[in-house]
């Protein structure tokens, strides 16, 4: 199946759920959907396009919104699913019921961007220390690191 065939098939299968669909390079397809349609779109990709392998989820802080890119690989092509959520209400549904391995990436989105992933089966912290302050999200553009004063045991005061 060629890229053009896949693009046309996606348009048919997803219909109005498709907000944008591009094929900028060979074997690269970008599909934009609303957050409410994310799980349905991922289900179609898994069931009809053999996209059961989620290589990662990329989060982008665009200022007023967060853009999330779900990178799926299939034997034929790579499909990147985009969803954009407002910074004022950063929520989206978990795709774990469809792709269980997404749990680690979704935990990272919660922890590093402060995005609420609704229905995530395991919301525990993943990367940051247990004593990390609430409300501090290190991958947001407005986050500023304040380096604690370094204390060297036996050093000069």
In this prediction, residue 8 carries a pLDDT of 95
In this prediction, residue 156 carries a pLDDT of 67
Residue 157: pLDDT over 70: no
pTM, 2 dp: 0.89
Closest Cα partner for 108 from 98, 122, 119? 122
Domain ranges of the chain: 3-118
What does each C-alpha distance from 65 to 45, 70, 89 come to in angstroms? Answer: 25, 16, 9
**CB of 73 closer than 8 Å to CB of 99:** no
Residues in the chain, overall count: 157
- Per residue in 91-148, pLDDT tens? 999 999 999 999 999 999 999 999 999 999 998 888 998 888 899 999 999 988 777 7
How high is the mean pLDDT of the chain? Answer: 93
- Could you give the CA distance from residue 102 to residue 140 in angstroms, rounded to a whole number? 21
- Could you give the CA distance from residue 4 to residue 55 in angstroms, rounded to a whole number? 23
Chain centre to alpha carbon of residue 20: 17
Residue 151: how many CB atoms within 10 A of its CB? 7
Task: Provide the 3-class DSSP secondary structure of residue 40.
Answer: helix
Q: Just give the CATH number of 3-118.
A: 3.30.460.80
Closest Cα partner for 92 from 39, 54, 52? 39
The DSSP result for 119-140, as a single string, is T-S-----SS-TTPPTT--TTS
Residue 61: pLDDT over 90: yes
- Could you give the CA distance from residue 70 to residue 101 in angstroms, rounded to a whole number? 12
């Amino acid at each position: 199946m060629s890229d053009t065939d896949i693009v046309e098939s996606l348009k048919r299968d997803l219909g109005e759920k498709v907000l944008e669909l591009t094929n900028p390079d060979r074997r690269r397809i970008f599909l934009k959907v609303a957050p409410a349609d994310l799980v349905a779109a991922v289900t179609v990709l898994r069931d009809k396009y053999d996209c059961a392998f989620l290589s990662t989820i990329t989060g982008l802080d665009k200022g007023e919104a967060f853009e999330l890119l779900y990178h799926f690989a299939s034997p034929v092509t790579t499909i990147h699913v985009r969803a954009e959520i407002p910074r004022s209400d950063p929520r989206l549904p978990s795709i774990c019921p469809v792709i269980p391995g997404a749990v680690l990436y979704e935990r990272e989105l919660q922890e590093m961007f402060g995005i609420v992933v609704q229905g995530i089966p395991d919301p525990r912290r993943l990367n940051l220390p247990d004593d990390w302050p609430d409300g501090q999200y290190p991958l947001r553009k407005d986050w500023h690191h304040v380096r604690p004063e370094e204390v060297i045991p036996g050093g000069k005061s």
